Chain A
Amino acid sequence: MMTEFTPWSAAIGGILIGLGGLVLYLFNGRIAGISGITAGALFQRGGRGWRIAFVAGLVIAPVVIAPYIELPAWHVPKLSIWTLVAGLLVGLGTRWGSGCTSGHGVCGVSRWSMRSLVATIIFMLAGVVIASLFGGVSYVTA
């Protein structure tokens, strides 16, 4: 499936992702790791309020901006055993590995964290290898 290289919207979106991370750091003193915050919102005993609010922001924002910004039709994966296997791997891996693309890849690497740099290199390489070899998931336009 072809997609077009979209550098301008990518740069603007990246700035928003970085700013979102900075808001959580400046106001709440927290690293904006999406996997850890979401898992904490669901399974942690205390301090869930701000985590639930963060996840709510994640869910709602695309709906809020949709009337103001022209966005293309996105793809979604078809439901299959591979979609579920991938979800399970992402859930297990991001918790055992203490972070995902946001916490390690953006915040951690920016903070010169050795752990985050190593984690980011490993998950990028693993992602490149499996995506280049495997093509078992099909997509539809949402």
Chain B
Amino acid sequence: MQSFDLVKPSTLAEAVSALAADGAQALSGGQTLIPVMKQRLAAPSVLVSLGGIAEMRGVAAAQGVLRIGAATPHAAVAREAAAHYPALAKLAGGIGDPAVRNRGTIGGSLANNDPSACYPSAALASGATIVTNRRQIAADDFFQGLFTTALQEGEIITEVQFPIPERAAYVKFEQPASRFALTAVFVAKYANGVRVAVTGASNDGVLRWKAAEERLSANFSASALSDLNLSGADMMADLHGSGDYRAHLAKVLTGRAVAAS
């Protein structure tokens, strides 16, 4: 790891100002950034830790919406969201290991948009709103491909707002080595329809499986998917599975998520 300055602001305003520095990089848990820095693949000159900003932490439910501060670690979401949005709490409680869950944050995960991460699927399937220091971004507009989001330079996620569904479930099939999602599916059923998000599978990152959403909106049952198939052509292929395998898993896991919700 190369040397860097660490700034620990206590307010959002201080963080925004610190991030304006040349070579500054936000740190929100660091579960990806720190290993990359250790490998010298990234060498920011200033790290701005978002962990000490009180206004960016916490979980609260009101009027059918669950609001999670962006700097809230996964372990806190697993605990505090359980009563309001159990599927989301379960997802958070299944990320990595205890060390990761107590360091990694929801904002850090969404901003990184790893194609195999868990949280993007929950945000997308819930039609969540990503709130930043500048604006509100709909999840449908936020995720823009592998490790790419709508965030602009210096923009900080402050909060994520999840409309609470009637029913939901997240089913993850773990990649055997990393235990990230080899493919995972989040299904959420709302009064106005069902949303299905698939992570770990597509070459373009987290995706909505709209054909499945239509079927499930009409008939919320795994059998509604029986003659539906995703194409493996645009899916990731690596040591752990072909595109066809991932496409197949997406279907199987969607059915299981419906059954588990």
Q: Do A and B bind each other?
A: no
Seen from chain B, the residues whose Cβ lies within 8 Å of a Cβ on chain A are: none
